Amino acid sequence: MNSMEREMRKHIPHYGQMKKVASTIGTKKQRTGNRKKKSRLTEISRGSGKPVLCQGVGVTRAARKLFEYEETGLTAQEIRALQERERNLTERIKKLESWE
């Protein structure tokens, strides 16, 4: 440790911590564990070709999802149409926001 650092430590409280933090500024930490969970509850069985619940999906969760779907009163085609419309409107908004 040189004399300048020694003097800084005497006069500046928490100098060591500030020096440590300053050295980490500008370095990026890798994110781990922030993966989005699978949103699908079912998969196609390789043996029978029938839909089955994915591993780790409980029957209660699947039943709740099915109940929510049935409560909407929409068909699968209507839901896909709404999803497509939402996607198109989102793209349109992004396009309008970037226009100058």
Cα–Cα distance between 62 and 81 in angstroms, integer?
Answer: 23
Strand partners, 42: 53
Does residue 5 lie within any of the structural domains?
A: no
Question: In the structure, what pLDDT confidence band is assigned to residue 89 with cuts at 50, 70 and 90?
Answer: very high
Task: Note down the domain range covering 69.
Answer: 42-98
Does 10 map to a domain?
Answer: no
Instruction: List pLDDT tens digits, range 61-87.
Output: 889 888 888 888 888 899 899 999 999
DSSP structural state of residue 43: E
Has residue 6 been placed in a domain?
A: no
Q: Are strands 51-53 and 42-44 parallel, antiparallel or unpaired?
A: antiparallel
The SS3 assignment for 62 reads helix
Residue with tokens 């300053």: 22
Q: What is the pLDDT of residues 4-17, one digit of tens each?
A: 777 777 777 777 77
Residue 56: which region, alpha, beta or left (left: phi > 0; alpha: psi -120 to 50)?
left
| pTM for this model (two decimals) | 0.42
Residue 67 lies in a domain: yes
Query: Which one-letter DSSP state was computed for residue 33?
Result: S
How many domains does the structure of the chain reveal? 1
